[in-house]
């Protein structure tokens, strides 16, 4: 599988701040997904994107599927302590198989 370039690797912010993280790939994907993972647990789906240019929100989270189909970003507004965790982007090209390709994750720490 192909590794995606996810940045930043980690973020340390204060409660109430907005957060932005992004993911890029050298290949085109037709699906972008964002997951959050807490220690000792599996990834939990946050947002799914299926069309280039698509902008989708889920509460304080907003994600976009890049026009080039090679990138995506995730924004979190007004962060709270329970936003702490590791955020993963994942891309899929259904023409190349069934595998989801994951980034290495962005570790988010939020201080009260």
Partner 1 sequence: DTGVSQNPRHKITKRGQNVTFRCDPISEHNRLYWYRQTLGQGPEFLTYFQNEAQLEKSRLLSDRFSAERPKGSFSTLEIQRTEQGDSAMYLCASSPLTGNSPLHFGNGTRLTVT
Contacts of 21 (CB under 8 A, 6+ apart): 6, 7, 8, 11, 73, 74, 87, 89, 106
Nearer to partner 1 by Cβ, of 6 and 79: the residue is 6
60: left (phi over 0), alpha (psi -120 to 50) or beta: alpha
Residue 85 engages partner 1 in binding (rule: CB under 8 A): no
H/E stretch holding 71: strand 71-76
Residue number, 55 or 78, with CB nearest to partner 1:
55
Residues in 25-44 at the binding interface with partner 1, rule: CB under 8 A: 30-31, 33, 35, 40-44
- Judged by CB under 8 A, the number of residues near partner 1 is 28
The contact set with partner 1 (CB under 8 A) reads 1, 3-4, 6, 30-31, 33, 35, 40-45, 48, 50, 88, 90, 94, 97-105
């Amino acid at each position: 599988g192909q590794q995606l370039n996810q940045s930043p690797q980690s973020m340390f912010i204060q409660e109430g701040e907005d957060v932005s993280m992004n993911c890029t790939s050298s290949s085109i994907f037709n699906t972008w997904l964002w997951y959050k993972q807490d220690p000792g647990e599996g990834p939990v789906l946050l947002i799914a994107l299926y069309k280039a240019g698509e902008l989708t929100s889920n509460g304080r989270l907003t994600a976009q599927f890049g026009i080039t189909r090679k990138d995506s970003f995730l924004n979190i507004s007004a962060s709270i302590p329970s936003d702490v965790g590791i955020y993963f982007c994942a891309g899929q090209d259904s023409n190349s198989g069934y595998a989801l390709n994951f980034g290495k994750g962005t570790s988010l720490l939020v201080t009260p």
